[in-house]
Structure formats: C-alpha cells, structure tokens
Structure 1
Amino acid sequence: MSVQIKTDNSPEFAEAVKEQIVSFNARHWDASLRQPLGLKITAENGELIAGLSGRTFGNWLMVDYLWVAEHCRGLGYGKGLMLEAEAIARKRGCRFVLLDTLDFQARPFYQQLGYQLVFTQQQYPLEGERYYLQKML
C-alpha cells in the first residue's frame, strides 16, 4: 500500500479526525456522561456582561472559558459564575475542577477561590506561561 502525508488545515478535516477519536473513545467509556455547562450574566438591555463555558464529564468539571466585561470586573460576577458552576458540577457528581489561564489573565483570582497550580506550560505560545489549576469539590 502506498500512502502520502498531505496538509489539510480545514475545519472539516479537524472535525473528521475528532469524530474518529470520539468513536474510538466511546468503546472505552460512556460519552453520554459528558454534559455542556454554560452560564451567563446579562444586563437589563440583554447585553452579555459575563459568561462561563465548560463541560462536566464523570468526576470532572472542565472550565474552558470565563469572561467578564472590563467595565464589570471586580464586581463579583466572575466569582459568582465559578461558584455556580462548581455547585452544578457537584450536583452532577463531579469531584474535581480543571481549568487553565495565561500569565496575563486570572491566576490570582482562581487561587483565591481555592485552585491549586498543578502544571505550568512555559514559553507559551512564545514567551508567556499557561497555568493549569485544579480544585477538589
């Protein structure tokens, strides 16, 4: 058999590879345990001022994104979203939370909420650092 390596940076190809991994993984665990978790805070006019997105899977809550509008930072919205996400995760049977943040983002904020640094990815993407933090629920 003759094979070739070709470049394909398309979103469709990335999705096809992802689906192959999902199919393989499904033979080893119950993928239905994976549930999205999204929370948002909106102003009276409907403007999005803060949001959290992630997912629960078995024992774990993975927080992908936490964002608060600049003019609303320091008002407790981020903390409120994190505490609500943790409460939902507990109800779903989660025992741990994992998230990451960059060196210019929110590491002290997460540490004030009880998160512990478990890994530092250095020189990310070139000169900075990416921190992986975890918390037991």
Structure 2
Amino acid sequence: MDLVLTDQPTAEDEAVVSNGLDDFNLTAGGVQDRKPLAVLLKENGETIGGLTGRTSLGLWFVDLLYLPERLRGSGLGSKILAEAEVEARRRGCLSGVVYTIQFQAPEFYARHGWIEFGRVPVGADRSRVFFRKELRG
C-alpha cells in the first residue's frame, strides 16, 4: 500500500472515496441519500455563476456561490440562494451549513437568516466564517 498526496485526484479517485462513504452510511445508518444540488445562472447557454452544494442525511451543504461582479447587488444571489433552499426543504433537509471568508459574504448570509456559529482564523487578518440555518417550519 502507498499513501499518495495529490492536488489532482481523478474522477475515479473521488468516486472510490465517495462511493465507499455512501456504502458505509447505508450499512451503518440505513441511509444513503447524498445528492448534488446546484442552481446555475446561464447566459446564452453558458454558465456564468450560481450555487453548488449537496444534500445528505437531512443537511444542506452550500459549497460555492459565485456571481460575476457586474451582477452582484442585483438580487440574483438572493434568488439563487432562495431557490436552492426551497429544493433543500423539498428533499427533507432540516438545516443548512455554509462557510465563507470574512471578506466574501458573511453579511449576505446573515441577511438571509443564516446564524454564525464559528470562526476559524486562516491568517493574521482573516477568518473563515461558518453559518447554519434551520429549515424547519
């Protein structure tokens, strides 16, 4: 056996890890419901921004949310986040989690009802900011 450190795992590498964890979750917890969730912003058929994440075991993970600078402040980010939240609720998620960097969008998430639950310093003057949101009710 070898340990291989890489910044370029193949799709097959990632699938082995992902499928292995799914199998474990099914065996141990009786559930395997991880599913990607994306709301994409398209212009002339090309993706120019959007949200990516996933749902699993009652939790919605927001991985990335990006809009081109020219569209920030237009309300599209709010629309994208709201649409993803509706889908997460439809899938039975009870909570959501996201992290951002303090210079990115903590105010955006707070405005949309997300509650900060932690900060992890990642340098002398910046932190990752972790948020959660209850989706019940």
User: TM-score, length-normalised on structure 2?
Assistant: 0.82
User: Judging changes above 3 Å, is the alpha-carbon distance between structure 1 residues 19 and 93 closer, same or farther for their aligned structure 2 residues?
Assistant: closer
- Where do 5+ consecutive residues of structure 1 fail to align? none
1:1-137 alignment, distance < 5 Å: 7-10=3-6, 11=9, 15=14, 20-29=20-29, 30-31=31-32, 33-43=33-43, 45-122=44-121, 124=122, 126-127=123-124, 128-137=126-135
User: How many matched pairs?
Assistant: 129
| Structure 1 position 20, deviation (Å) | 4.7
Over the matched positions of the two proteins, sequence identity in percent amounts to 33
**CA RMSD across the alignment:** 2.1
| Structure 1 position 92, deviation (Å) | 0.9
User: Judging changes above 3 Å, is the alpha-carbon distance between structure 1 residues 22 and 58 closer, same or farther for their aligned structure 2 residues?
Assistant: closer
User: Judging changes above 3 Å, is the alpha-carbon distance between structure 1 residues 7 and 54 closer, same or farther for their aligned structure 2 residues?
Assistant: same
- 2:108 is paired with a residue whose SS is helix
Which structure's CA Rg is the greater one?
Answer: 1
User: Judging changes above 3 Å, is the alpha-carbon distance between structure 1 residues 132 and 72 closer, same or farther for their aligned structure 2 residues?
Assistant: same
- 2:61 is paired with a residue whose SS is strand
- Where do 5+ consecutive residues of structure 2 fail to align? none
| Structure 1 position 94, deviation (Å) | 1.1
